[in-house]
Amino acid sequence: MYEPSNLYHVLKDAASSRAGLSVYPPGDTETPSELAYHDLFVSAKHKARLLHGFTAAADRPIVLLHFDNHLETIEWLWATIVAGFLPAISTPFVNDLGQRKKHLLHLNSTLHDPLMLTTARLKPEFLGIQQLRLHSIEEIQNEYNFRNAVYRPFDYSTKAAEHETLFQGTYAKPADLAVLMLTSGSTGYAKAVCLSHGQMIKAVKGKSKYHGTSSEKVFLNWIGMDHVANLTEIHLHAMLLGANQIHVHAADLLVQPSKFVSLLGKHQVAHTFAPNFFLAALRKSLETPAGSKLCEGADLSNLRAVISGGEANVVETCDAVTKLLNYYGVEWNVIRPGFGMTETCAGSIYGTSCPSYELERDLEFGSVGSCIPGIHMRIVADDGTVAAQGEVGHLQVHGSIVFERYYNNPEATASAFTHDGWFITGDQGYLDETGSLNLSGRAKESIIINGVQIYPHQIESALEDAYLPGVVPSFFACFPHRPSGSQTERFCLVYCPTYAKHCITTRVETNDAIARISAMICGSRPYQIIPLEESQLPKSALGKLSRTKIRTAFEAGAYQGILQEHLSAIQAHKSSMRQNRILTETEKVVLSTFLDLLELDSADIGVDSNMLEAGITSIDLLKMQKVLQTKFAIAEIPLITLLTNPTIEGMSTAIDKSRGAASGKFADYTPVVPLGTKGSKTPLWLVHPGVGEVLVFLNLAKFITDRPVYALRAKGFEQGEDFFDNIPDVVETYRKHIRETQPQGPYAIAGYSFGAMLAFEISKLLEAQGETVSFLGSFNLPPHIKTRMNQLDWIEVALNIGCFLDLYSEDYQHCISHDMHEKQDQEVLSYIMEKAPPNRLAELSLTRTKLERWISLAHAMQNAATNYDPSGSVANIDIFYCTPLASVSKSRSQWLEEYLSKWKDFSRGEPRFHEVDGAHYTMLDPDNVHSFQKTLKSVLVERGL
């Protein structure tokens, strides 16, 4: 079977087809320039003649191409190839002029004094460096310069002689170098990757075979030609097939992501590329009326593959985007997460069943699947042995499409390969039971905090998902840093702010939100949070920020002035917001306790700072309760006192009152616990589960920064409070306090387990009063609960609370349930206290008396529902479901089909079901709350809130 031997013949063969390129100029997504492959071939030969006026083909010089648009890059790239020269495609320059100069001098040395080709308009970007052999295309197109070139003239007397002399690209052998591609320089100075003719052709043919592409397919690209995601993934791929290809500029899609869908439909595109950050932006755009309107009538039925790489693909994003694109005729699993590097000619390992494959396996990030022809992979453990299935190790690749060396850099080449010739990618991952590759991060980018390994992309992803109003999307970068004298590694975060420099309030709120969310992900606040202008955060062609370069600049002190100004502004603002008075002795104790607990600086917290918004966890809160009780010699500071008085000042005042009170009068019961008070969107109300407590919501509330979050806590935890003994009383009490706090709708209410029933009844009352409940959420509860409530005697409730508090596992609870029912209540209580880990009891500050009261409260609450039958209906309901209790259902599918689906009988709108991570007791745990909050936020958006 015929196969072109070099890139010259790839273009020549394509020139015989009727296909070509449609290239949109910068700033224009309406009228492209049309360029047939035939015309490109003619243009390349003409420009090859001009190039020979500046340098001799016999020298095989390197030509560094530096352009800022697709058309000029493509035309001069092919002119260089046809001429028989070696093109090196320049990456965009950084704005830091000092770094740019170092970069240019490094390239000049590495590439052996190359001819640097650009436009007259872009020449100033080269800073007038005298050592550079720099020319503009206007100069070489000038007839005078061409005829009076300083290099040897050529005899153009015959076409044959001209062909032999000027078009030496036709003679290139498969092993000859075709292109030098510059790495992004994320690990230091850019390296020049040597890609041969044969390697690139084999890579493209492997991609085509793997993805089933053909000449009838249309390709669309919006990445710069300096990246292999364009050059091999799209441009050469389409050309080798003789297929049409569309090019549009990244900037024009990034400002209007929905235009991507419009162009896919306009050109009936089958094959394209979009990294995760763009998919996230596309999703956000399509979920807006303006974005979806731009795509009206778009037909994407021809779309077969959206290749995605360059960073980890978030499964939830892939799932959401797929569903949105499905509206325009796209089939399922169109997104294909891939692994690829410049060194492997872009994508070389792909997943073809996303998001189905990942959703079935409950993966957070997309599997990148299996290898295309021409490459093999292996996972190697730290000791050099091949890793077992499922074992995380170092990804290495080998094969005919893998590069062999870096140009003029033998040291980097030697360190890039193992002794047996496998390329060390620098990525970590594992092979699952199907042999599919799952990546887990870059080996050099993991952060070890107190012995726990964290990957930067996990923190960055969580911050992106938070949609913080003060941050430009996709401009987070997290990197490790070990401060002088520190016993453990820390991490720093940079972001690009949207707020004006003088907008101090937004600056402070953004800083606090980043700190809080980061702490939720890895249990530690950032060492430094640094706002940088977009010009200081240059991206690669794939939209990636170089963590290594940013870290190097930080550690060199490049951001010191910015950081100092930032910290001073925050400190000044917080100082100005505090009352100008001397702290009371109680406030001093409470403040120092809080600062010690969260390892914060006194400058970060004032007497009016809200502790619940500063990153405190439920365990921290219980620890604080215990410490304060000891310091103030108080038998008990009710937890509700801390929850409802979350500032240093408020808590201190409440403690002083309790210490001075001698009348025995107790505070009035209030169910409302403000977990977050910032944000302007519709407040979210969270109703407690059957155990009555709201600490379970603290993890979730930290991720919600755009709206107030209130929780409803049961009556009976504190002295002087009776238990609720009937459901109508509970519902009316909660409704009354909701209306007092939020007088008007729309309302957003959700309940966890038992709380979902209460939320349903509250919503009915609100609707009966003429109010709108735009969102009602059930966290894993079906409508019919009477049977389950009648199973919950005092002992079963006790066992449930023990499991809920993580005193033992659900499996252990299931095993001991029968034996416990043979015992008396007090015997069961003794058993639980004896079996519970002492450190866990200490963390919870849980005594036998507290546990007994808690059990009795929960039993009374659930006993009130033993005759409960749902009735009536609400406008709509969203059900968030996870693995059910083993005693209730055998599987998620049974739980959904036989129990949760019954909500359709009590909702006037079609119920929506959302599968989430974890099990009944763990769905809001730290391990699962990140994915849960993403689902919850997207649902709130869908409901118009």
Residues marked active site are found at 753
Closest to 688 measured CA to CA, from 644, 732, 754, 742: 754
- Token couple for 331: 């089939």
Q: Following CA atoms 507, 501, 600, 629 in sequence, which dihedral angle do they give, to the nearest 10 degrees?
A: -40
Closest to 408 measured CA to CA, from 113, 178, 56: 113
Q: Helix (H) and strand (E) counts for the chain?
A: 36, 31
Closest to 516 measured CA to CA, from 706, 699, 316: 699
Distance CA 506, CA 499 (A): 7
Closest to 103 measured CA to CA, from 90, 115, 121: 90
Closest to 193 measured CA to CA, from 475, 432, 402, 380: 402
Residue with tokens 């972001």: 495
Whether the link from the prior residue into 838 is cis, omega within 30° of 0, is no
Distance CA 557, CA 560 (A): 5
Whether the link from the prior residue into 746 is cis, omega within 30° of 0, is yes
Phi-psi region of 633 (alpha: psi -120 to 50; beta: other; left: phi over 0): left
Distance CA 71, CA 35 (A): 9
Distance CA 883, CA 188 (A): 46
Cα 672 to Cα 646, 685, 687, 733, 854: the distances in Å are: 13, 9, 10, 10, 19
Length of the chain: 945
Axis-axis angle for helices 37-51, 70-83 (nearest 10):
60
Closest to 608 measured CA to CA, from 645, 566, 564, 640: 645
- Token couple for 2: 């015929």
Distance CA 41, CA 77 (A): 11
Contacts of residue 691, defined as CB under 8 A and 6 or more positions apart, other chains included, come to: 800, 801, 804, 854, 858
Is residue 619 exposed (0-12), middle (13-18) or buried (19+ Cβ within 10 Å)?
A: middle
Mode of pairing for the β-strands spanning 878-883 and 773-779: parallel
Mode of pairing for the β-strands spanning 219-221 and 245-247: parallel
Answer yes or no: are the C-beta atoms of 882 and 923 closer than 8 Å: yes
Q: Where are the alpha helices (DSSP H) in 661-716?
A: 698-701
Closest to 787 measured CA to CA, from 909, 885, 883, 686: 885
- DSSP state, residue 385: S
Closest to 749 measured CA to CA, from 713, 770, 775: 775
Distance CA 426, CA 432 (A): 19
* Amino acid at the residue 226: D
Q: Where are the alpha helices (DSSP H) in 605-662?
A: 618-631, 639-644, 648-660
Cβ density class 434-460: b for 16+ within 10 Å, e for less: eebbbbbbbeebebeeeeeebbbbbbb
Distance CA 807, CA 870 (A): 33
Closest to 592 measured CA to CA, from 624, 567, 570: 624
What is the greatest pairwise CA distance in the chain?
115
